[in-house]
Chain A
Amino acid sequence: MKALVTVMPKPSVLDPQGAAAAEAMRHLGMENVGRVRIGKLIEIELPDGADEARLNEISRDLLSNPVIEDFEVKIVNR
């Protein structure tokens, strides 16, 4: 199976990368672009039946930092 862990900066955290990308999009003519946020997508290969609860814990403790980020775990190719 494969897991996709999405890690995004919390809305209250300044995301200068997102702001810079939004600015570049405006320069390219997309003047109506709204807020842009940049996070991470982590693709993880696991044997079928792997411990999903443990994967959630590791996503919380290692793959993201709860002070500044939110995460979501999605299992694909089950």
Chain B
Amino acid sequence: MKFSVLRFPGSNCDQDCVHALNAIPGASAEYVWHKDTSLAGFDAVVVPGGFSYGDYLRCGAIARFSPIMKAVGEFAAGGGPVIGICNGFQILCECGLLPGALVRNRDLHFVCEHVSLRVERDDSQFTRAAAAGQILNIPIAHGEGCYFADEATLDRLRANGQVLLRYCDPSGQASDASNPNGSRDNIAGIRNEAGNVFGLMPHPERACDPLLGSTDGLAIFQGIIGN
């Protein structure tokens, strides 16, 4: 499976994503510049983390209008898998491929730590390599990762089973104390209604090598590759 990893000015997790993906059997990854207009030949899209356009205005607000995003919209509309990680999640929300928005963390701090994530369902292409209820240990690193959506949107997300990952404690309880940024309903990752677009604040690409302290991130990419 051939992944495209988008590069915006200010992306800084693009190399980590390409490195992690190229080490997984069955996957290969290539960079795609944000001024490119085609995703022809690719089977999946990764919108990586970083600070696209310096996070000016709002995180992801300017990247949303980059030429490549039109192709991403068409790719997603055609059912192709798209995963947005951290800043990539923010971009996917800004461009409307995912509902809601990411705002400043509850306590204003930039949080950089390993967190526990509960896999809410394993019938999604992004989580099928894990088990429902499994706890993944994956790092987060963000200042604006507080997931916000109005009550009606949250109800819809829950009713459609679109919440794939929640922040939890090591025993799997999703509580206020285990919520690192104030996200509504402890939401760490959601998918769109069609199920082919996934956004998450944690960085699975930083948890793909035992040297980095966890390999739990592999499950996310392996899920996509299992297509």
- A62 with B103, Cβ < 8 A, contacts A12-B150, A13-B148, A17-B108 known: no
Can you show 12 pairs from A to B with CB atoms below 8 A apart? A13-B103, A14-B103, A16-B105, A16-B107, A17-B104, A20-B108, A62-B61, A62-B65, A65-B61, A67-B93, A67-B148, A68-B101
Within 8 A of B (CB), among A1-19: 9, 12-14, 16-17
A73 contacts the other chain (Cβ, under 8 Å)?
no
A16 to B94, CA, bound (A): 21
| Residues of A contacting B80 in the complex (Cβ-Cβ under 8 angstroms) | none
B100-134 near A? 1/0 per residue, CB < 8 Å: 11011111100000000000000000000000000
Q: Which of A20, A62, A63, A67 contacts B101 (CB 8 A)?
A: A67
B220 contacts the other chain (Cβ, under 8 Å)?
no
Within 8 A of A (CB), among B14-72: 57-58, 61-62, 65
Question: DSSP class of B's interface residues: helix, strand, loop or mixed?
Answer: loop
> Which 4 pairs across A and B sit closest by C-beta, in order of nearness?
A67-B101, A68-B101, A16-B108, A16-B104
CB distance B100 to A67 under 8 Å?
yes
Residue count of chain A within 8 Å CB distance of chain B? 12
B182 contacts the other chain (Cβ, under 8 Å)?
yes
| Residues of A contacting B106 in the complex (Cβ-Cβ under 8 angstroms) | 14, 16
Which of B93, B106, B148 has most A Cβ within 10 Å? Answer: B148
Which of B58, B65, B93, B146 has most A Cβ within 10 Å? Answer: B58
